Amino acid sequence: GQVVVTTADGERTLEAKTICWTAGVAAAPLGKLLADRSGCSLDRGGRVVVEPDFSIPGHPEIRVVGDLCSYSHTADGKPLPGMAGPAVQMGGWVAQDILASSQGESHKPFLFSDFGSMAVIGPLFAVADLRGFKVSGAMGWLLWGLAHLAFMPDNENRLTLLTKWLWMIAARQRSALVIGEG
């Protein structure tokens, strides 16, 4: 397979033997499979315990990020939550680390920045706490939507998603609350 890394200098394609992606509210079975095959540890939630560079002990070629990993190399020693914010930052850091390593360079240590939390509560109603700035209701939902649009990979996806959301809101479809396909 291939992983495409986009930097200020352009895109670079990296070859990868295996690329896995998982999502959900519980650790994916892939974690147990990885532990059984590699001997790595799982936390009590079934997430893979990783090194500071998101590799598993003894296997620097295997990186685990997002809600499948248990990353506790933080100031307080507590694992980062399995949420989108940490996952996006982990993925970006690992991509940059792999790129730096492939060029024989070192990379700065991972440092998580907590920008806050958001949650959709109902139709056109969400809550947000962004570093002490708290908002709820329609304004919270608008902020939630803008944040999700900002993290879309390209403008075409942003425009497509925004158009779908606006149509679903106008048609009063409940699936307007969903990020993915409606």
Q: Which residue range forms the structural domain that includes residue 39? A: 2-102
163 vs 158: CA distance, rounded Å: 8
Instruction: Tell me what pLDDT residue 86 has.
Output: 93
Helix axes 155-170, 138-150, angle to 10 degrees: 150
The confidence score (pLDDT) of residue 50 equals 97
Q: Which of 61, 59, 78, 60 is nearest to 70 (CA)?
A: 78
Contact 7, 99 (CB under 8 A): yes
The domain boundary residue, chosen from 77, 102, 127: 102
The segments of the chain whose pLDDT lies below 50 read 176, 179-182
CATH for 25? 3.50.50.60
**Cα separation of 124 and 138, whole Å?**
5
Q: Is residue 93 part of a domain?
A: yes
Determine the Cα–Cα distance for residues 168 and 182; give it in Å rounded to an integer: 9
The predicted pLDDT at position 135 comes to 94
Say how many C-beta atoms besides its own lie within 10 A of residue 117's C-beta. 13
pLDDT at 180 (0 to 100) = 44
Give the number of domains in the chain. 2
- Same domain for 135 and 45: no
pLDDT of residue 120: 83
Q: Say what the pTM is.
A: 0.70
The pLDDT value recorded for residue 90 is: 96
pLDDT number for residue 173: 64
Looking at the structure, tell me whether residues 97 and 155 fall in a common domain. no
Same domain, 97 and 124: no
Token digits of residue 169: 């809101």
